[in-house]
């Protein structure tokens, strides 16, 4: 493999509760230099991230080696990019400094082997889940964010745990269709961006969907989660290897 390969991962949901996946991620990082020229992390790298000062908390024991692992990859010359997921949208400057990751916006355009490609986490495509979108609006509100970040660490942990429990209960009540992307929203977002190729995560349904977008052949690639296995998309010379 040459150095022109572009890799994508998302939805690792790294957490002390799944130490084997933390281990698997460290091993995965070791394979990046020499094989990939860039690695895109499309959100939900962490199960939760309640502010960059998590590094100084007891959870820092889990987090610090991961950040150091990323930094090693970046120091080896691989370009690292990170976009927020709904679990780690509070990742900030300190994370980027400690890892060498460049923070990219919610919707980010790249040229992928010559094809304009839109990158997203993907939660904003799930517009059938009206309740989730309302909650998201609230969480992402700058005032709410500032309020949350002003709480002391333990209060943030308590609030985050409460919200995770609540969202877990809600998810059990919802149908699989509601929690998937809405095709109309996908097409609208792609047409607005002027792309025929979209890569996202969030839904944990790895797949390559080919469809017709206003008369043009379009592709939507969905990344897989890391709950039980390593999952990545490796792209080289326009060839997609989703595993
Ligand atoms: Mn997500």
Domains defined for the chain, CATH in brackets: 5-242 (3.60.21.10)
Given this model, what pLDDT does residue 1 score? 45
- Rounded CA separation 222/9 (Å): 10
Query: Distance from the CA of 8 to the center of ligand 1, in angstroms?
Result: 15
Ligand 1 centre to CA of 202 (Å) is: 4
Instruction: Tell me what pLDDT residue 164 has.
Output: 84
Dist. CA 62 → ligand 1 center (Å): 20
Residue 239 CA to ligand 1 centre (angstroms):
26
139: CA distance to ligand 1 center in Å?
A: 14
- What long-range pairs does 210-219 form, CB within 8 A, spacing at least 24? 211/183, 213/187, 214/187, 218/190
Instruction: List the pLDDT tens digit at each of the 243 positions of the chain.
Output: 444 899 999 999 999 999 999 999 999 999 999 999 999 999 999 999 999 999 999 889 999 999 999 999 999 999 999 999 999 999 999 999 999 999 999 999 999 999 999 999 999 999 999 999 999 999 899 999 999 999 999 999 999 989 888 888 888 888 888 899 999 999 999 999 999 999 999 999 999 999 999 999 999 999 999 999 999 999 999 999 999
CA distance 107 to 200: 10
Q: Is the pTM of this model over 0.85?
A: yes
Ligand 1 centroid to 164 CA: how many Å? 12
What local confidence, expressed as pLDDT, does residue 4 receive? 80
203 CA to middle of ligand 1, Å? 7
How many angstroms does the Cα of residue 99 sit away from the middle of ligand 1?
A: 21
> What's the CA-to-centroid distance between 1 and ligand 1, angstroms?
31
Q: What is the pLDDT of residue 129?
A: 95
Task: Assess contact for 160 and 48: CB atoms under 8 A.
Answer: yes
Per-residue confidence (pLDDT) for residue 171, from 0 to 100: 85
H-state helical runs in the chain:
19-31, 60-75, 93-99, 130-140, 142-150, 153-173, 183-193
Compute, in angstroms, the gap from residue 181 CA to the centroid of ligand 1. Answer: 12
Q: Report the alpha-carbon angle 172-178-179, nearest 5.
A: 65
How many angstroms does the Cα of residue 2 sit away from the middle of ligand 1?
31
């Amino acid at each position: 493999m040459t150095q022109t390969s572009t890799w994508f991962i998302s939805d690792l949901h790294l957490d002390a509760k799944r130490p084997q996946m933390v281990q698997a991620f460290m091993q995965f990082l070791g394979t990046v230099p020499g094989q990939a020229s860039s690695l895109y992390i499309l959100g939900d790298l962490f199960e939760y991230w309640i502010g960059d000062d998590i590094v100084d908390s007891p959870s820092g024991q889990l987090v610090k080696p991961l950040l150091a692992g990323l930094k090693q990859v970046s120091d080896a010359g691989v370009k690292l990019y990170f976009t927020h997921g709904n679990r780690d949208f509070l990742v900030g400057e300190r994370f980027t400094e400690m890892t060498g990751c460049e923070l990219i916006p919610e919707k980010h355009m790249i040229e992928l082997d010559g094809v304009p490609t839109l990158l997203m986490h993907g939660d904003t495509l799930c517009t059938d889940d009206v309740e989730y979108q309302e909650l998201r609006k609230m969480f992402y509100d700058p005032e709410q964010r500032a309020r949350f970040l002003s709480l002391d660490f333990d209060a943030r942990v308590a609030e985050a745990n409460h919200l995770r429990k609540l969202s877990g209960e809600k998810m059990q009540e919802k149908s699989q269709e509601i929690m998937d992307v809405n095709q109309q929203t996908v097409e609208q977002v792609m047409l607005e961006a002027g792309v025929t190729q979209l890569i996202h995560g969030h839904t944990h349904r790895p797949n390559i969907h080919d469809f017709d977008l206003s008369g043009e052949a379009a592709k939507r690639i969905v990344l897989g989660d890391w709950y039980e296995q390593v999952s990545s998309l490796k792209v080289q010379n326009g060839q997609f290897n989703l595993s």
